[in-house]
Amino acid sequence: EGEQQIRLTVNGVEHALNVTPNAVLLDVLRDRLMLTGTKKGCDQGQCGACTLLVNDTAINSCLSLAVSHDGDEITTIEGLSKGDELHPVQAAFWEHDAYQCGYCTSGQIMSAVAILKDDNIGRDDASVREAMSGNICRCGAYKNILAAVQDARG
Ligand code: FES
């Protein structure tokens, strides 16, 4: 089956990649670009572990074909820190112990980063909970996750 060349800018670095039409964005990032910070949980769009930003919007990368992102700007968890300096959302998760096993954490953080960029989301806890509802934490660290997101929003 024919491969197609696409260009993805990932964490500020442009990549030209040949991919099959059915290649999934999550797999391309993990297996071709070795960016394994984005996790595969359910692989069905239900857990949020694979969340990343496409042009500043949070998406589930397990449900998205790589070919549909030709020319897009993608940010993964690896692209958040600046040198030794954590992104404010990462720092808040650290301070609030907002994880237990950590498997869902990069997806949680990417959703939170999208919330910080979206002025339409209310500042109350219920609005944040609703906006984060696509990110499942099997350890149940929700209380600390909420506190971290609210702290990062300032
Ligand atoms: Fe994509 Fe669960 S792995 S939503």
Q: Is the CB of 45 under 6 A from ligand 1?
A: yes
Q: Is the CB of 49 under 6 A from ligand 1?
A: yes
pLDDT at 1: 67
Give distance in angstroms: CA of 84 to centre of ligand 1.
29
pLDDT at 152: 98
Q: Is the CB of 111 under 6 A from ligand 1?
A: no
CATH 3.10.20.30 fits 4-79, yes or no: yes
Helix, strand or coil, per DSSP, at residue 116: helix
**CATH annotation of 88-153:** 1.10.150.120
Cα dihedral across residues 27, 141, 135, 113: positive or negative = negative
Indicate whether this complex's ipTM tops 0.95: yes
Q: List, for the chain, all residue ranges whose pLDDT scores fall below the cut of 50.
A: none
Give distance in angstroms: CA of 120 to centre of ligand 1.
25
Q: Is the CB of 62 under 6 A from ligand 1?
A: yes
Would you kindly state where each structural domain of the chain is located, as residue ranges?
4-79, 88-153
Check residue 86 and report its DSSP letter.
P
The answer to whether the predicted template modeling score (pTM) of the entire model surpasses 0.95 is yes
